Amino acid sequence: MKKAVFPGSFDPITLGHVDIIKRAIPLFDEIVIAIGVNAEKKYMFSLNERVAFIKKCFADEKNITVTKYKGLTVDYCKTIDADFILRGLRNPADFEFEKAIAQTNRKLSGIETVFLLTSADTSFISSSIVRDIIRNGGDASELVPKCVK
């Protein structure tokens, strides 16, 4: 069974995340959307809100689960017997950053990272841009799935 973990803070989940997840569904038997918990980070949405957003977005997908975890992603992958980490790439800067993490993860654990390029129509979207729009009273509804609106 091919199980992948798609880790992130998802604060909030965006259409870019949804694009990557939907295109990954045929590649894996199971996808675990894993919300990392970082006590040092200030989130706009609570952990429970983020879990609820994602569960609502993928309620009809039987092979997707939503969980939360602390610590290293590779350690979490080992505890749930996942062999892959799924990551989306928006641009060359993302690639350089993610490549170093993927190589380290493979060296430490043998877990492979699978990269999917975001679609052209979502490649500019990031959670931090969405948060900035919301904080400043703007309308981010075209950047997030209906489950967040």
The verdict on whether 17 is a catalytic residue reads: yes
Which one from 9, 17, 50, 87 is the annotated catalytic residue?
Answer: 17
| pLDDT attached to residue 41 | 85
The verdict on whether 46 is a catalytic residue reads: no
| pLDDT attached to residue 115 | 97
C-alpha closest to that of 41 among 108, 125, 131: 131
pTM of the shown model: 0.94
pLDDT tens for the chain, 149 residues: list them.
Answer: 899 999 999 999 999 999 999 999 999 999 999 999 987 889 999 999 999 999 999 999 999 999 999 999 999 999 999 999 999 999 888 899 999 999 999 999 999 999 999 999 999 999 999 999 999 999 999 999 999 97
The verdict on whether 127 is a catalytic residue reads: yes
| pLDDT attached to residue 71 | 94
Which one from 68, 78, 90, 99 is the annotated catalytic residue?
Answer: 90
The answer to whether the beta carbons of residues 62 and 25 sit under 8 Å apart is no
3-state secondary structure of 36: strand
| pLDDT attached to residue 75 | 96
Q: What domains does the chain contain, in order, with CATH numbers?
A: 3-135 (3.40.50.620)
The verdict on whether 3 is a catalytic residue reads: no
Handedness of CA 10, 83, 4, 68 (dihedral sign): negative
